[in-house]
């Protein structure tokens, strides 16, 4: 039976290799298959090996990987989304390439503190300004 499973795994990896996945991506895909994680979540040629690895780790932990799997993110954006998933905040509010990782961080921090992030949920507001707004909202919340 093990040989059959290995052939099945090799056959699956061959299909991905023929589609143009890199060796690093294939290594992460193999890990996901070995851990019985649905390849539909992470086998996207646009995803970096790090994004594939993070999606697999999040799926294993039971997190909803929908936002992380919907488009390509750079490694720092992936980290912010991953942190948000770990902290059980609504990552759908900031899991968008229009936000850079610093902006994502400010939104995530606001969500953790249960602030109304709609006041700075705008990709045109720089992260430093977002931080000022978040801190003002924190101060106002403490006064109540």
Over residues 71-125, the pLDDT tens digits come to: 789 989 999 999 999 999 999 999 999 999 999 999 999 999 999 999 999 999 9
Residue 21 has pLDDT above 70, yes or no: yes
Do residues 52 and 78 lie in contact, with contact meaning Cβ atoms separated by under 8 Å?
no
Residue 19 scores a pLDDT above 50: yes
Q: What is the mean pLDDT of the chain?
A: 92
pLDDT band (50, 70, 90) for residue 60 = very high
Q: Which of 25-29, 38-42, 140-144 is most confident? A: 25-29
Helix, strand or coil for residue 142? helix
pLDDT tops 60 at residue 7? no
Distances (CA, A) of 97 to 36, 38, 45, 76: 29, 24, 17, 11
Render pLDDT for 70-82 as a digit per residue (tens, 0 to 9).
Answer: 878 998 999 999 9
- Residue 144's pLDDT band (cuts 50, 70, 90): confident
Mean pLDDT within 14-43? 95
**Continuous H helices in the chain:** 2-18, 23-34, 49-60, 66-69, 75-86, 101-112, 127-143
Other Cβ atoms closer than 10 A to 133: 16
pLDDT recorded at residue 2: 35
Average pLDDT over residues 10-30: 95
Q: Which two tokens stand for residue 2?
A: 């093990």
Q: What is the mean pLDDT of residues 48-71?
A: 92
């Amino acid at each position: 039976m093990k040989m059959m499973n290995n052939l099945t795994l090799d056959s699956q990896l061959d299909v991905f290799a023929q589609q143009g996945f890199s060796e690093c991506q294939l290594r992460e895909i193999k890990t996901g298959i070995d851990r019985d994680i649905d390849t539909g979540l992470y086998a996207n040629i646009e995803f970096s090996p790090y994004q594939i690895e993070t999606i697999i780790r999040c799926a294993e932990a039971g997190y909803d990987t929908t936002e992380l799997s919907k488009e390509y993110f750079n490694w720092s954006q992936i980290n912010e989304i991953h942190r948000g998933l770990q902290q059980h905040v609504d990552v759908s509010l900031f899991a968008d390439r229009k936000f850079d990782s610093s902006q994502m961080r400010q939104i995530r921090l606001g969500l953790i503190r249960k602030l109304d992030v709609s006041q700075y949920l705008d990709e045109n507001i720089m992260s430093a300004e977002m931080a000022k707004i978040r801190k003002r909202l924190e101060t106002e919340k403490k006064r109540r």
